[in-house]
Structure formats: C-alpha cells, structure tokens
Amino acid sequence: MNAQAGNCWLQYARLCRLAGHYETAHRAILEADASGAPNAHMEKAKYLWNIRKSDSAIAELQQTLLNMPADVLGPTVLSSLSSLSLALPNAPLSVTQASKENPDVSKTLLLYTRWIHYTGQKQSNDIKSLYSRVADLRPKWEKGFFCIAKFYDDLLVDARRRQEDKKIASGVGPVPPSSTGSLTTATEEKPWWDMLPVVLIQYARGLHRGHKNLFQALPRLLTLWFEFGSIYIQDGSSFNKPMKEVHIRVSFFFWHMFFIALIYLGDLINFL
C-alpha cells in the first residue's frame, strides 16, 4: 500500500514539476520518499535540474549510483563517479533502498551521463565510456541508443564547425572534403566525416529497437547520409582513400537498417 501511495506522490510531483509548481512538487517528492517510492531520487534530481541547481541534481544521481552494486556499475563508471566530487546540500533520498528496489541502473546512469555532458564536467572519452555502459546494461533500450547517437552527432557537428572555421580563418574558405587529410596532419585531428559511421550506426540501432524517436532519428540519419553522399562525389572526393573507406563502411549496413526503419514507419502509419 505504501509503495502504491509513493508512486501516486511521484506522479503528482512530476505533474507539478512540469507545470512549474516547484514548491508543491518538492513537498510531493518528500511524501513519495517517506512512502518508500523507489524512484524518488530520479524525480528529486529532475526537480533540482528544473530549478537550475544542476550541481545538486548531478550530485543526487551520483550519490544514488555510488550506493548501487559495484559489479553492476562496472569499474569505468565507478572511476568516473569517484573522480567527480560534488557535495550534496542535503542528504540523498533513501539511496540504499532505491538501489535495492530498482535494479535497473540504466535510467539513472543515462540521465547522469547526459547531464554531465551538458554541463561539460567530463571529457568526451569519459562520456563515451559511460554511454557504452548504458548500452551494456540495457542492450534493447531504444532511448539509450538514441541518446548515444545524439552525443556522437554533437561531436560530429562540433568537429565539422571547428574544422571549417579553421579553414576560413586561414583564408582557404570552406573545407573541401578532399583536403581534410592535410588538416588531420596539421592538428592530429581526424576529419569530421570519420565519425559518420558511428553516428549512423547508433541512430540505426535505436531504430532497430523501437520507433518512439522515429521522427527525430530517421530524418537525421537520412540527412547525414545524403549530405555525405553529395560530398563524396564532388571535387574528386571519391578518389580520397580515407573518405572512400568511410563510404564503404557506411554503405555496408545502411540500406539494411533503412529498410527496417521503413517497416517501422509503415506500421506506425497504419496504426495512426
């Protein structure tokens, strides 16, 4: 009975938080925790994030994860959690109870990873390791792969913008795809399109596992694919060996995943 009451308080807290009634949401979260609701820590973290206390929100998730079984988290996650020390203004909400009653760590870890990426508190390699652990914990979770794809997509967009800005600043103009090899030699940075296969694969993996993010993932996947194709055939880029290798890697899996996405799209249209 207490668990059911706690879940009702959590739903009420979520509605109040989304409506902007933060004081009422906070009281509902306290009631949910007192009733033994297992996911009270998640709602409290989201509440803190919404009132722009990002450090406290991340610390809430961090403390919750630290109280979860070490063999579930893995050494990489534990190392990341230990290296990011954030002081909690108040005691966490029944974190030991939450870890016992909610064995699915993936949601907490995914939210924690997204937020530390957003706030820039970890290097990209650390973020990659955390996302990799999310995929290991829940290999059939569509949202997990969609968030991973968005992360790599952000890295790709940032690398492309940075490389094009460097070319423009040097007076060369926009980055010619056939000349990105010289950029790699000068700065030891790989051309932006080298990350393209990873981005497409992660979007495709998400589509393969569900269609909740279909109308975000599929258009972005197609945009990246066609844009790269147009770059590949212009200015002799097809004779660029590194780019040709990327093109082969992308083409190997693309159409198979694309037809799977079309099946999902057809089923969704029939459902509507």
3-state secondary structure string, the chain?
CHHHHHHHHHHHHHHHHHHCCHHHHHHHHHHHHHCCCCCHHHHHHHHHHHCCCHHHHHHHHHHHHHCCCHHHHCHHHHHHHHHCCCCCCCCCCCHHHHHHHCCCCHHHHHHHHHHHHHCCCCCHHHHHHHHHHHHHHCCCCHHHHHHHHHHHHHHHHHHHHHHHHHHHHCCCCCCCHHHHHHHHHHHCCCCHHHHHHHHHHHHHHHHHHCCCCHHHHHHHHHHHHHHHHHHHHCCCHHHCHHHHHHHHHHHHHHHHHHHHHHHHHHHHHHHC
Question: What are the tens digits of pLDDT across the range 179-217?
Answer: 444 444 444 678 888 898 899 989 988 988 888 898 899
pTM value? 0.79
pLDDT on residue 99: 42
Question: What are the tens digits of pLDDT across the range 120-141?
Answer: 888 889 999 999 999 999 999 9
